[in-house]
Amino acid sequence: MKRILNFLFQTKIRTKRAPNVVIDRVNIDLPEYQGSVEEVARAKCMSAWEHLKKEGKTNVRVIVEDTALCFSALGGLPGVYIKWFLKELKPEGLHRMLAGFDDKSAQAMCTFAVMSDEMQEPELFQGICPGQIVVPRGETSFGWDPCFQPDHDSGHTFAEMDKNVKNGISHRSKALEKVINYFVTNPN
């Protein structure tokens, strides 16, 4: 039996490893929750699940993705609020935020939250990519990629990397691998 999985994010997902999963992308305007990465992902997922249930959908399974960029020198900020910081400051401003600090380390975090009718609360799958905040380099094709240099042998920012290399080491790919493994072992 194929199971419909409702995705609430824009990343294209390949499901070759989970052939019994059918992807149905939905666009729901969710509130902007505040809290830790885990709290925000859980709240978004529960809200989306409840929305779909109210629409009369049955056998609902939802997955929501949230991303954070956490600066060590700032106690984890901007964290889940990176979208708003980036909108106002751009990658150059994110780098300048750490001008007075020796510690430029950061963690890129991606959290997927999964909720289904059989669950009491969402299951979380997190991927973390440690790195440094640097002077922006490379094309600005995605958010803060020009100022985040992962702790990887290449010495390149995400923006400078070949997409296949980036996708092999990124926080999102690490979290997504956990999600795929979950669906392979829990197809129903």
Which residues contribute to the annotated binding site for ITP? 44, 66-67, 142-145, 166, 171-172
Residue 30: count of CB within 10 angstroms of its CB: 13
C-alpha–C-alpha distance, residues 140 and 60, integer Å: 36
Q: Are 80 and 37 in contact (CB under 8 A)?
A: yes
Numbered residues of the known binding site for Mg(2+): 32, 66
Q: Is 43 helix (H, G, I), strand (E, B) or coil?
A: helix
Which of 165, 144, 53 lies closest to 96 in space, CA to CA? Answer: 144
Residue 113: helix, strand or coil by DSSP?
Answer: strand
Q: Which residues are documented as binding site?
A: 32, 44, 66-67, 142-145, 166, 171-172
Structure tokens that stand for 11 in this block: 């990343």
Closest CA to 7 of 20, 35, 26: 26
Where helices occur in 64-132 by DSSP H, the ranges are 82-97
Residue ranges of alpha helices (H) inside the chain are 37-54, 82-97, 163-169, 171-185
